[in-house]
Amino acid sequence: MEAVIGKILGELGTFLFGPIMLVVFFGVGLYFTIRLRGIQFTRFGTAFREVVWNVEKKSDDGIGQIRSYKALATALSSCVGNGNIVGVAYAIAVGGPGAIFWMWIAALGGMATKFAEIALAMHYRVQDEEGNFRGGVMYILTQGMKQKTIARILGGAFAVFTVFVSFISCGALQVNTIGSAVSGLAGGGTAIPWVIAVLILGIDGLVIFGGVKKISDVTTYLTPIMAIIYLGFGLVILIMNIALIPQALWFIVKSAFTGDAVIGGVAGATMGVAIRRGVQRGVFSNEAGTGSSAMVHATAKVDVPVKQALYGIIEVFFDTFVICTFTALIIMVSGVWNSGVTDGTVLASTAFQQNLGGLGQIVLVVSLILFCLSTVLGWYTYGESAFAFLFGVHKVKIYRVLHMVICALGALISVQLLWDAADVCNGLMAIPNLFSLILFGSVVVKDTKDFFAAYDKARIEET
């Protein structure tokens, strides 16, 4: 039965990230890049400055639930998960090094896409009966479309897919990775998955019952800690192999257009496979195109709604061009990428051990635990918003219990089945989100133009 389900999920995932959807993903990114005048390039410095400035502020102006920086930290913690390590390693193993190049290309457009997603979510966000701010595709469609029946159907579909993603790819799959990493470090043992399941059940419950403010507090501290640990030791490995980095970068670019015909896990990988795997893993990691992180950004306290969208540019940049690139280069310079192993956890672990010995394995396990745990907690906020849209804010407690149980069970389920389900859920989420971006693109353009007209004027007056 599991084999049949896996085959169906695999074929559906291939279709969802097939030629048609790839054209749409790239097309939407290109559309907003052009309409917003290359905002991810021309306004990158502005976005970075806003992030740094907000970190130093003691409070935010405007209305909302949580500080704008904490919204970014929660969003980052949600997308920085096993996809940044295990997913990248897997993409190289089955799609060849060229998959990383296409991940970069998709992320360049994804920076503009993420900006547009957040800008729309802020434009159409609402307050529920308990005073909580809610935003996302379901509210964009139901607030903005005149055809209310279609809006409710598409918005409801997005909410359902979001709940499934919070349970599966950003819940159970993350916990499965924690269990696999700890088992590898401990030398195996049938009791380990059960211990992990119980621990996750307890940690998840302690945090999520505190609501979005509690989650944002935890992720605000967790995000920089996990980044420093992983990037710090990753930098050591790259310095140790600095002479091999130019060759690795060249091979990534060359393989993007030629495919691979080498011995090992990527034997026979074609350009088409590289593109599909690169975009697949990129979307799973930085979430640009799925509309997910816009839901937590919609809770931020800001004086001008569009300002929060600038954080989306930094979000995609840090996730893909920093963390994912670190992983890719570590895998490449360590020479394990064409070993024939397609298990991303094993590949990453081998690369770290090869360079840092036993310490490397410990660093990777700790990084995976923090990355995955932060994703589980951050994605809870998305699932809660979707669940509240579907069933009402008073039923959220039911979702909390379901989230705890399903995530904990992830330690006991087949990992390949979870990866296949993750791709399907992300692909299904993207459809109504991309539709809303195309439908309301002019709203994003107008709001952005008005914002920067006032922003640039204020900057000039300050100087």
Whichever domain contains 376, its CATH number is 1.20.1740
Q: Which residues contact 318 (CB under 8 A, 6 or more apart)?
A: 76, 80
Question: Which tens digits make up the pLDDT trace of 107-159?
Answer: 999 999 999 999 999 999 988 877 788 899 999 999 999 999 999 999 999 99
Q: What pLDDT was estimated at residue 214?
A: 77
Rounded CA gap, 29 and 56, in Å?
A: 31
What is the helix (H) or strand (E) element at residue 134, kind and residue range? strand 133-134
Q: What pLDDT was estimated at residue 264?
A: 43
Sort strands 66-67 and 133-134 into parallel, antiparallel or unpaired. unpaired
Q: What share of the chain is helix, strand, coil (3-state, %, to 5)?
A: 80, 0, 15
Q: What pLDDT was estimated at residue 262?
A: 44
Q: Which residues pair with 63 in a beta bridge?
A: 302
Rounded CA gap, 447 and 435, in Å?
A: 19
Would you say 347 and 87 are in contact if contact means Cβ atoms under 8 Å apart?
no
Give the number of domains in the chain. Answer: 1
The closest alpha carbon to 69, from 283, 200, 219, 240, belongs to 219
Question: Which tens digits make up the pLDDT trace of 270-295?
Answer: 666 667 666 766 666 677 888 888 99
Would you say 179 and 369 are in contact if contact means Cβ atoms under 8 Å apart?
no
Rounded CA gap, 75 and 375, in Å?
A: 9
Q: What pLDDT was estimated at residue 59?
A: 58
**266: how many CB neighbours lie within 10 A of its CB?**
26
What is the helix (H) or strand (E) element at residue 149, kind and residue range? helix 148-167
Would you say 432 and 158 are in contact if contact means Cβ atoms under 8 Å apart?
yes
User: Structural domain of residue 141, as residue ranges?
Assistant: 2-462
**What is the model's pTM?**
0.89
3-state SS class at 291: coil
Residue numbers in the chain where pLDDT is lower than 70: 1-2, 17, 55-62, 188-189, 259-274, 276-278, 280-285, 414-416, 419, 463
Rounded CA gap, 388 and 377, in Å?
A: 17
What is the helix (H) or strand (E) element at residue 20, kind and residue range? helix 19-35
Rounded CA gap, 439 and 427, in Å?
A: 19
Name the DSSP letter for residue 225.
H
